[in-house]
Structure 1
Amino acid sequence: MSAETTASTTRTARPQEPGKARATIGAIVLVVLVIGGGFFSNAQWSKFPDIFTEGGRYFYLMLRGIVQNPFSEPYSEYWVQAFNGMLESISMAWIGTMIGAAISIPMGFLAARNVSHPALVQVTRVILNAIRTLPELIFAIILLLPIFGFGPNAGALALGIGAVGTLGKLTAEALEGIDPGPVEAARAAGAPRSAILRWTYWSQVLPEVLAFWLYRFEINIRASAILGVIGAGGIGSVLSQAFRYREWDFIGILLFVIIVVTVVVDSVSGAVRHRIIAGTGKTDKDIDTEPVGL
């Protein structure tokens, strides 16, 4: 066999397939962990078939409330309470988002490595990490309900504090990813530090940060329904009372309102976030194919 034939055979030979032992062992370990978790959870698996029997019955009871005439009694009152509770949840989510956004701005600057001193950055990041580890439910139960009592005030503040950890971290990461050119130009021109932070740092990250705020607002709407279960206001409080008295037709109306309003808010917020980031009349494809410069 000639040297050219040997070289051609070497170039066209298929590479050896990687071993599948590691992936197989990982899948087996994952299955064992899932089965073990289900076994040690003390769940009554014998009642699992009830999902297809009792679950269908409850679904029918909830659906019955949705299809009834909304202007007849007592369903007209049910719909009014559902929309009032959802409006309160949206208000809680909005106020909580505004509180979290206002506090996260200075926290984000303090946590950005290209803005603050390293020691200050570490302290701020520890605070933000500590806030993110605690869910809004814990803030409401331990800190806010004893002070403000039951109602939407405690819920809105819990959502606001919970939003600080996430929004502060995202703001710091956005600040660390800015273009340093405008910053260096402003410093060379002798601009004061406050002007540099305002016109070179903040102006670059503002569209991205606004998108973060809108996304957090979507999350807070869902979280407000959960906080209402413990008495922190919103539609969750109404849902908790309806479940206590087993008013399944009322529960169906409440769940229907929660789902519809949440989907509508998510759609509108997503469109606004796309408009902020992409700009007017531009799609993601337009942005990807747009020439960078001349």
Structure 2
Amino acid sequence: MSAPAVRPPAPPKWPVTLAWLAGALVVVGCVWLLGADWGRLFGLPEAVVRYAGLLSQGIFRNPFADPQSEWWTVAFQFMLDSISIAWIGTLIGALLSLPLGFLAARNVAPAWVVGIARTVLNVVRAIPEFILAIVFLLPLWGFHPAAGAIALGIGSVGTLGKLTSEAIEGLRPGPVEALRATGAGQLAVLRWGMLPQVLPEIVAFWLYRFEINIRAGAILGALGLGGIGFLLEQLFNGREWDRLGVALLVTIAVTIAVDQLSAAVRHRIIGGDVSEGRATAV
């Protein structure tokens, strides 16, 4: 008769406790080193109410009255400029990241090419868009929306290229092996065996990056590169709170609408048409 199994002893809890205490001490130390005036937090609710009242002055006026209608028109025009800048930047990033993504995939390119491609993507991903705009693009184009669009495009290459390479490395090998068994060349394998599998996921990445570029474009606009960020910066400096409230409302509403539309398109691309799937199952 075999001896009963002995339950192993439970691990000691003091290492976890010491880790939590050390983390708490680090947080407390960082808060103390900030030297912030924490007493001003008690006045935060009052400040929020006051600025909300200032910003809402223009929102609750008649939007069809002059000059109120012009405020809304100008805000929508600048927001459309932001969407255009983000869209062009996304197209630039998509076109450049697709070949780099294939070169950075281990199941496509040799190891030395993968190393170079991934190094390029890492360097591009490490540089913020506003640094690209200030250091490299403003001397060439000046304060022009083209500088913002190119900065967003270059900034998108790093992220999109990395996601593309990961999608390519995770594809199903069956279609690729079948093409190679028929004697197809490398370009034919890439075109007909790999690209059709990963393209829906890659397009979804592009749409998601478009959403990010809309928000990043607002920051670049504050540098004077056009778009809604430029309008918000001008209105804030001029303390035109009523017009600033209108511009903020337009920015929030349009951004939410674009995000919802993009999310629906991404879901349709990746998940397919649910009604068609049900009809096929029936």
**What TM-score do you get using the length of structure 2 for normalisation?**
0.92
Residue of structure 2 equivalent to 1:121: 114
What is the CA–CA distance in structure 1 between the aligned matches of 2:204 and 2:111, rounded to whole Å?
27
Residue of structure 2 equivalent to 1:58: 51
How much does 1:229 deviate? 0.7
What is the CA–CA distance in structure 2 between the aligned matches of 1:141 and 1:282, rounded to whole Å?
49
Residue of structure 1 equivalent to 2:154: 161
Change (3 A) 1:159 1:283: farther
Change (3 A) 1:20 1:88: farther
Could you report, residue by residue, the CA deviation over 1:153-203 in whole angstroms, capped at 9, with x for unpaired residues?
Answer: 111111100000000001101111111121121112111221111000111
Question: Aligned pair 1:146/2:145, yes or no?
Answer: no
What is the CA–CA distance in structure 2 between the aligned matches of 1:151 and 1:109, rounded to whole Å?
33
Mapping of 1:15-34 within 5 angstroms? 19-34=12-27
How much does 1:77 deviate? 1.8
What is the CA–CA distance in structure 2 between the aligned matches of 1:32 and 1:74, rounded to whole Å?
56
What is the CA–CA distance in structure 2 between the aligned matches of 1:199 and 1:155, rounded to whole Å?
35
Q: Which amino acid aligns with 2:117?
A: T
User: Which residue of 35, 38, 47 corresponds with 1:45?
Assistant: 38
What is the aligned-residue identity percentage?
A: 52
Residue of structure 2 equivalent to 1:105: 98
How much does 1:283 deviate? 11
Residue of structure 2 equivalent to 1:189: 182
Q: What is the DSSP-based 3-state SS (H/G/I as helix, E as strand, rest coil) of the residue aligned with 2:153?
A: helix
Q: Which amino acid aligns with 2:29?
A: G
Q: Which amino acid aligns with 1:124?
A: A
Question: Aligned pair 1:76/2:66, yes or no?
Answer: no
Residue of structure 2 equivalent to 1:87: 80
How much does 1:19 deviate? 4.4
How much does 1:215 deviate? 0.5
User: Which residue of 65, 85, 96 corresponds with 2:89?
Assistant: 96
Residue of structure 1 equivalent to 2:201: 208
Change (3 A) 1:19 1:246: farther
Mapping of 1:253-272 within 5 angstroms? 253-272=246-265
How much does 1:44 deviate? 2.8
Q: Which amino acid aligns with 1:243?
A: F
How much does 1:18 deviate? 5.1
Q: Which runs of 5+ in 1 are unaligned?
A: none
How much does 1:20 deviate? 3.9
Could you report, residue by residue, the CA deviation over 1:185-228 in whole angstroms, capped at 9, with x for unpaired residues?
Answer: 11121112211110001111011101100110111111111111
Q: Which amino acid aligns with 1:197?
A: L
What is the CA–CA distance in structure 1 between the aligned matches of 2:220 and 2:75, rounded to whole Å?
16
**What TM-score do you get using the length of structure 1 for normalisation?**
0.88
Change (3 A) 1:243 1:98: same
Q: Which runs of 5+ in 2 are unaligned?
A: none
How much does 1:42 deviate? 3.5
What is the CA–CA distance in structure 2 between the aligned matches of 1:74 and 1:36, rounded to whole Å?
52
Mapping of 1:208-247 within 5 angstroms? 208-247=201-240
Q: Which amino acid aligns with 1:78?
A: W
Change (3 A) 1:84 1:118: same
- Root-mean-square deviation over aligned CA pairs: 2.2
How much does 1:17 deviate? 5.7
